[in-house]
Structures are given as C-alpha cells and as structure tokens.
Amino acid sequence: MRMNKFLTVAVFAAGAALTSINALAAEMTGAGATFPYPIYAKWAEEYKKASGNGLNYQSIGSGGGIKQIKAKTVDFGASDMPLKAEDLDAEGLTQFPAIMGGVVPVVNLDGVTPGQMKLTGQVLADIYLGKITKWNAPEIAALNPGVKLPADDITVVHRADGSGTSFLFTDFLSKTNPDFKAKVGASTAVKWPVGVGGKGNEGVAANVQRIKNAIGYVEYAYAKKNKMTHTQMKNKDGQFVQPDDETFKAAAANADWAKTPGFAVVLTDQPGKSSWPITGASFILMHKAQADAAKGKEVLKFFDWAYKNGGAMATDLDYVPMPQNVVKLVQDGWKAQIKDASGKAVW
C-alpha cells in the first residue's frame, strides 16, 4: 500500500528509476536540487490529495536540474544556486524562489551531542582544505573547551554531484576564509582538496553516518530526519548560533528581493546576531516560452498552492516560507514573463 502511494505521488529521490506508468505521462515533471526535496515531497503528496494532479520530481542535484531544464526534458528545474540574469536571458529562462532553509555541518563523533560542538567558517574551511586533519587540533579544541575530542583523523565528506548545497557551503567558506576562496572558490561543483564524495544530501548524510569521525554538510531537514549531530556556527556578528527556522528567518530578513535581478539573492554570511550563516533559497527555473501552456500553467498552480497552503508544512520541516510580499513579486513575474506560443500570458 505504501509503495502504491509513493508511485501515485511520484516524487523520486536521487538515483531512483523513473516509473513507466502511463497515468503519470500528463503529470508535472521537475528535477534538480536535493536541498528542498523533503518539502517538495510533502507538498506533492498534499497537492495530489487536493487537486488530483501529481508531481514527478527527481532529486538529482542542482547541476542536473539546470542541465535538464536547459534541455527541455522537464517542466521545471530546481537549483539552490541562482542563475545570473545574463545566463537566464541566454537560455530563455526565468527563475523564482520557492523556499528558504539552512545548510548545516554534521559530525559523527562519539560522545558529542547535537548542537554541542562549535565551529567557525575559518576553521571549517581549513578542515575542508586539509589543513586541519585531527579532531583534537588546537584550532578546534580552542572553540570547544570541555568537549572530549578524539585524537583521530578527520574524514571529510562532500558532494560528488553538481550541488546547490555545495554552492551555499562553499560560498560561505569563501566569504570567511581567503585561502579557501583562492584555492577552491564558490560553485555548485568544485575541486575538493580532500575527502570522499556522496551523491545528493542523502549520500552525504549516509556517508557521515557510516564513517566514524566524519564531517559533512547537509540541508537541515536531512540532519533532523536522520538524527544527526549538527554543530553550532559563528555568524557574521560573532555569535555562535544553532540552526532552526528562526535563525534561517533572521538571515533572510535583510534580503532585497525586489532590487535583485532574477531574484538571485544569496543569503550566506548575513549580518544579525541571530542569523544562521549558511542560509539560502531554492529556486525554480522555467522557460519563458511554454511549448505546452497547460503544463506550464499547472506548474505555476502547484507553486501558487504551495505558497498559499504549504507554509506550515515548510515550518514543520524547518524550512522558511517565502514572505507574502515576495510571493506577490514572483507572481507578477509569472504574468509578465511566462507566455504560450502565441505570446499570451500563461498565468
């Protein structure tokens, strides 16, 4: 019974094979970011109950989502790294933010409890550069008096696929560690100096759970769902904060969506005493010219429904719903930019 329900909703995690059920042929298709997968899965389930229409979403990473929407093999792509206005124009795309959330470092250390360990961007970047290799290194010990740290090697876990989660993580590390910026930089896919890769947030979470003394980074919903040990982080105002929907909201408070072309707001390392420093939005990519206007309209109806009805579900999973004034800006953009073959607005 559970499998039938899953196939009906048709939301797929990374690596899952596409079903060939004919009934799904007319349903919406999307692909991309794993960061928002938990909330998209929940929205899809509830939207199916409310409307009878399903969503087939492949959680394959932001890089894959961008490739698939450019190739027009899906109705929408999803990326946690916003595309620049010139890139959108070159591909005939428009983008809008669907949800906000946080990326958190997670560790597998005996005796360390969730939220107990403290890290800074400088130290975290040095771990990912391979400059800090032991858990009891002076740089880590100085931040964590009273925490029993093993004299063991650190196993670094990172994403193996093109990832918006990696973009947010590397963007924050680049802003807080000049050496990381120079040697690695900020992107969906970088050349990691050390570590082992995992596909999707799911793969990173699985590797950290499997490997003793590992450290990785995942979207917060994955850390909570899997009861993983997250760390505190030092923010731009010098405060150590815990990840939750309130600290994600605090980071988002300064965003100027109206004046940012393509809504390309990056929320890492935001000021504010309560701001979680690795916060980001997840974006939806669609073609401005819709070959199938009915399908394009259905995608917009889904996200309109999610904006109106999905806020409590998002909060339950520790995401941050988009503010109503931003939703208004987004829907004005739908009317102005997304057209059918005759040039008529789809929305």
Reported as a single tens digit per residue, the pLDDT across 133-168 is 999 999 999 999 999 999 999 999 999 999 999 999
Residue among 231, 168, 157, 171 nearest 34 (CA): 168
| Homologous superfamily of the 2-101+281-337 domain (CATH) | Periplasmic binding protein-like II (3.40.190.10)
Average pLDDT over the chain, rounded to whole?
Answer: 92
For residue 340, the SS3 value is coil
Distance CA 286, CA 32 (A): 12
**pLDDT, tens digit (0-9, with 9 covering 90-100), for 159-200:** 999 999 999 999 999 999 999 999 999 999 999 999 999 999
Q: Determine contact, residues 185/170, Cβ cutoff 8 Å.
A: yes
CATH 3.40.190.10 domain extents, the chain: 2-101+281-337, 103-256
Show the 3-state SS of 102-163.
Answer: EEEEEECCCCCCCCCCEECHHHHHHHHHCCCCECCCHHHHHHCCCCCCCCCECEEEEECCCC
- For the domain spanning 103-256, the CATH number is 3.40.190.10
Q: In Å, what is the CA distance from 20 to each residue of 10, 73, 77, 344? A: 11, 15, 21, 33
Which pLDDT score, from 0 to 100, does residue 16 have? Answer: 42
The token duo for 287 is: 């073609």
Which pLDDT score, from 0 to 100, does residue 26 have? Answer: 59
Count of helices and strands (H, E) across the chain: 14, 13
- Amino acid, single-letter form, for residue 332: D
Cα torsion 200, 203, 205, 206 to 10°: value is: 170
**Start-to-end Cα distance in the chain:** 36
Which pLDDT score, from 0 to 100, does residue 254 have? Answer: 84
Q: Which residues of the chain have pLDDT under 50?
A: 1-25
Q: In Å, what is the CA distance from 344 to each residue of 72, 94, 120? A: 20, 16, 51
Strand 118-119 and strand 232-234: pairing? parallel
The token duo for 95 is: 């983008």
For residue 304, the SS3 value is helix
DSSP state of 101: E
